[in-house]
Amino acid sequence: MGKSVAFHNLGCKVNSYETEKMMKELAEKGYDIIPFDQKADIYIINTCSVTNIADRKTRQMLNRARRLNPDAVIVAAGCYVNTRRARGVIPEEADICVSNEEKRDIAGILDGYFAGREKTESDNGCRGDLPEDALHTRCFIKVQDGCNQFCSYCIIPYARGRICSRTVREIIEETRQYVKAGYKEFVPTGIHISSFGKDREADHEDLLGLLRAMSETEGVERIRLSSLEPRTVTEEFAAGLREIKQICPHFHLSLQSGSDTVLKRMNRRYTTDEYAEAVDILRGCFDDPAITTDIITGFPGETETEFEETVGFVQRMNFYETHVFKFSRRRGTAADRMEGQLTEAVKHERSVVLMKINAEKKREFEDRHIKTGARAEVLFEDLEEAGGRILRSGYTREYLKVYDERGAFDAGDIAEGSIRRQGEVILFERT
């Protein structure tokens, strides 16, 4: 029996994708993958460093692994390693430190460690690997890494580096393999997917072209976009999306603030008018699409007036969902050094206001889509408790979560039928 390895993932969808790739590589090399809460020979924590809180969670998980087995080899991988190395600090909580660029060589790194050899740094780059076995119905495919935006609050460009896109050919090959594994919905993901292809302009590959190529891949029944840069949404881009029948009418456009002066301090490079124009373009091309967003409350220097501007803008935009985050100071960023840092109490108070608006707007959007006789296409996924019963859940193309009332569907089934609300639960019935 090979050495046992336990994984714990922190952070974004890109991290989740990379964790699965490391798990697959080690399993193919004869390592035994076991749950994180068991005693393992090796613990690998794929870390996040987007905020100071993320750093703290990383350290907690590294220490937890040490407690689970004091004799185990503890591996810290990812952004926590990259950001600390960038500051000239060597993480002391782990036996092995693996940067984002080195994750793809995790088996070789471990083999070298156990052979007593000194590990050498791997070269930079980005690539895809073979897909996992079908454990879910929705598949995240990493299409690029890195970011060149340098928002003033964000450490990610320092942790992930500059943009690095995969080729369309490589992504489509991986997509075909996921189709064979049973996946039906595909989510192109990355650190900044709107920049896809911009590092290889001579190849004439861009995000819209990639989406078209994915849609032409046999077996791809849905394509759901992850976070888009508002400036990406032009009339031409939205019209191109509308022509792709697999595109789900669910678009996440990160806003971060509804105040132009705060956006400028954030270095977001667009105004609220430009953001609103992007939303209008999408709503003009799709019938009441789900528009979701992110907001940071309590950014340094955010005045009551600026916060009220954000509240008013969120009200006007009628988002399906608004993900609210309290500003967290991140060492190494410009925002950490800004004057006018707000108290946690003020951040909390403002986040509560926005979360209340979110609950109201989400209900309004759902009710518009659950009118009498409403029909929806649903991809069914997991079994879970809802309304006091164990029901199979699924998602409409707009990402409304619904439940199979009659127990007629299995994971991976796609069906059309009617939806209705029962209390806080949305029920589906094929009609």
**What are the structural domain ranges in the chain?**
4-114, 138-369, 375-429
Lowest mean pLDDT among 167-176, 256-265, 377-386: 377-386
**Helix (H), strand (E) counts: the chain:** 12, 18
Q: What is the pLDDT of residue 105?
A: 83
Position of tokens 């870390």?
Answer: 47
Q: What is the pLDDT of residue 86?
A: 58
Q: What is the pLDDT of residue 132?
A: 40
Model confidence at 312: pLDDT above 90: yes
How confident is residue 107, by pLDDT bands cut at 50, 70 and 90?
confident
Q: Which residues are CB-neighbours of 275 under 8 A, at least 6 positions away?
A: 230, 253, 255
How confident is residue 265, by pLDDT bands cut at 50, 70 and 90?
very high
Model confidence at 106: pLDDT above 80: yes
What are the structure tokens assigned to 142, written together?
């990493």
What number is the average pLDDT over the span 72-94? 78
Alpha-helix residue ranges (DSSP H) falling in 318-397: 344-369
What number is the average pLDDT over the span 172-184? 91
Q: What is the pLDDT of residues 6-51, one digit of tens each?
A: 999 988 888 888 898 899 888 888 899 999 999 999 999 999 887 7
Model confidence at 431: pLDDT above 90: no
Please tell me the CATH code under which domain 375-429 is placed: 2.40.50
Angle at 124 between CA 123 and CA 130, to 5 degrees: 95
Q: What is the pLDDT of residue 200?
A: 86
Please tell me the CATH code under which domain 138-369 is placed: 3.80.30.20
CATH 3.40.50.12160 fits 4-114, yes or no: yes
Q: What is the pLDDT of residue 374?
A: 80
Q: What is the pLDDT of residue 89?
A: 58
Average pLDDT, the chain: 88
Q: Which residues are CB-neighbours of 337 under 8 A, at least 6 positions away?
A: none
Q: What is the pLDDT of residues 196-254, one digit of tens each?
A: 999 988 888 999 999 999 999 999 999 999 789 999 999 999 999 999 999 999 999 99
Q: What Å distances lie between residue 41 and 2, 34, 72, CA to CA? A: 10, 10, 5
Distance between CA atoms of residues 225 and 69, nearest Å = 40
Q: Which of 251, 290, 397 is nearest to 419 (CA)?
A: 397
Distance between CA atoms of residues 401 and 395, nearest Å = 5
Q: Which of 174, 198, 200, 203 is nearest to 187 (CA)?
A: 174
Distance between CA atoms of residues 375 and 417, nearest Å = 5
